[in-house]
Amino acid sequence: MNNIHIISVANNFEVYNKFVKENPLMNCHKLSVYDNSSENIGVSSRYNNFIDNNLSEENEWYIFCHQDFSFFDDPAETLKNLSPDSIYGLIGAAPSKKFSWKHLRYYRHNEITGMVFTGLSKDSKKKGKVVCGKVKVETLDCCCLIVNSKLIRENNLRFDENLAFHLYSEDFSLSAKSKGIDTYVIPIDCCHTGRGTFNLAFFENLIYLKQKHKIDRLVGTSSIDRGE
């Protein structure tokens, strides 16, 4: 029985088809895509719409991923051994400290954990650090977030629609953490070609997120808020 459902929001179907729809490691699972090419509705709203209208009573894995994200290995092989009581992704960030010889002190650092390739080939550049098993992180990059329907159903998890296009994945992890739910990165070879857009909306969302969770900095894959 196929218990994996891959959900995306696309504004460029040439990209979506190339990375997701035509990938045999992904189209062997259920696919749902929201068309944002004409009406640009927030990703968090799209994901909530899927949850509100499709939440399974079975233990189904939902993979929320970008249109330019692609698996190089079948995620089913890894997910079948994981507990449905945590959140998973492929790349995230954990709090760490590094020593600065220049300033002779430790400074706060966002440790990027998990690895993705930056092109549709394993010859492309890598981002992050390879992990051998699941590793706990504070937040996940929004390119891919994996959560079981059981966890959503039992904890009423939702995406914050105030974060339409930025930081909705980081907020999802932080909100779940407040309910005692852990977030991990897991080792599945994959790629993501997109780069973050640090526009005014991003910084407004960052302020909102920090106020919401009462934190002075965000532990995330973005280097914008390192907090040295």
Distance in angstroms (rounded) separating the CA atoms of residues 207 and 74: 37
Distance in angstroms (rounded) separating the CA atoms of residues 52 and 95: 33
Average pLDDT over residues 146-153: 97
pLDDT in tens, 176-214: 999 999 999 999 999 999 877 788 999 999 999 999 999
pTM over 0.85: yes
Of residues 1 and 149, more confidence is placed in: 149
Distance in angstroms (rounded) separating the CA atoms of residues 8 and 20: 9
pLDDT at position 102, please? 64
Distance in angstroms (rounded) separating the CA atoms of residues 6 and 61: 8
Residue 99's pLDDT band (cuts 50, 70, 90)? low
| Residue 162: partners with Cβ closer than 8 Å, 6 or more residues away | 205, 208
**Gyration radius of the chain's alpha carbons:** 17
pLDDT in tens, 8-50: 999 999 999 999 999 999 999 999 999 999 999 999 999 999 9
What CATH fold (topology level) applies to the domain 4-213? Spore Coat Polysaccharide Biosynthesis Protein SpsA; Chain A (3.90.550)
Give the sign of the dihedral formed by CA 169, CA 118, CA 227, CA 97: positive
Which residue ranges make up each domain of the chain? 4-213
pLDDT at position 222, please? 77
